[in-house]
Amino acid sequence: MHWIDPDSLPEVAGTFERFVLNPHGEVDGFVMRDKQTTILVHTPPHMDGELTRHLARGDKVRVRGVRPRGAQLLAAVSVTTAGGRDIVDEGPDHDRKHPKVKHEPMSVHDRVELSLFGPKGELRGALLSDGTVLRIGPKEAEHVAALLAPGAKLAARGDGLKTKHGRVIHALEIGPDPDRLKPVKKPKDKKPRHGHDEDAHAA
């Protein structure tokens, strides 16, 4: 987003509530509230450091960004903190890599507070009532969209990670409750083998 001039975009203000994490434990967004409206803000992971240093729960925050079609999301180009600091998406460093983290098996069974979307509006998971961030690939999310809708009850198992900003689980199994979990990715069909052995048996 660094090619867009933030000053050309409308500004949305609210009160900062909490960060949202990607499967690597990096901050890639946050939730803010404007009166009774909850606003999901997407930020690229390379803004993680500055955002976590300068934003705290209850702070007033202003965001300039773009809204993708069909999703309740604001993809931030710049974030202005309560202290007046402008954090602008200048693009990632060329050698930037995801942090090396150790995942462990985790499960969750809770109610969905908020659907989570990628910067182009693609469904990518859910924020649950207990604060857990559940992540799922956009292709897989399409097939379980009803489970990721606000108010839905869901259960999931997968690879998890705890950070000082919360817990994130990359879902490998998902369902309406723990007894009805199904794999997120459908197993690939095994193609029948046609070889000389089969021909020999047929002879």
Residue whose entry in the numeric block shows the structure tokens 């710049």: 78
Q: Are 64 and 55 in contact (CB under 8 A)?
A: no
Parse the chain into domains and list their residue ranges.
6-88, 104-183
Q: How confident is the model at residue 193 (pLDDT cuts 50, 70, 90)?
A: low
Tokens of 201: 């048996």
CATH 2.60.40.1080 correct for 6-88: no
Based on C-alpha coordinates, what's the Rg of the chain? 20
CATH 2.40.50.140 correct for 104-183: yes
For the chain, the first-to-last Cα distance in angstroms comes to 65
What is the phi/psi pair of residue 51, to 5°?
Answer: -65, -45
Q: The pTM is what?
A: 0.86
Helix (H) or strand (E) holding 67: none
* pLDDT tens digits along 153-183: 999 999 999 999 999 999 999 999 999 999 9
Q: Are 36 and 68 in contact (CB under 8 A)?
A: no
Tokens of 112: 């969905």
* pLDDT tens digits along 35-65: 889 999 999 999 999 999 999 999 999 999 9
Shared fold status for 6-88 and 104-183: yes
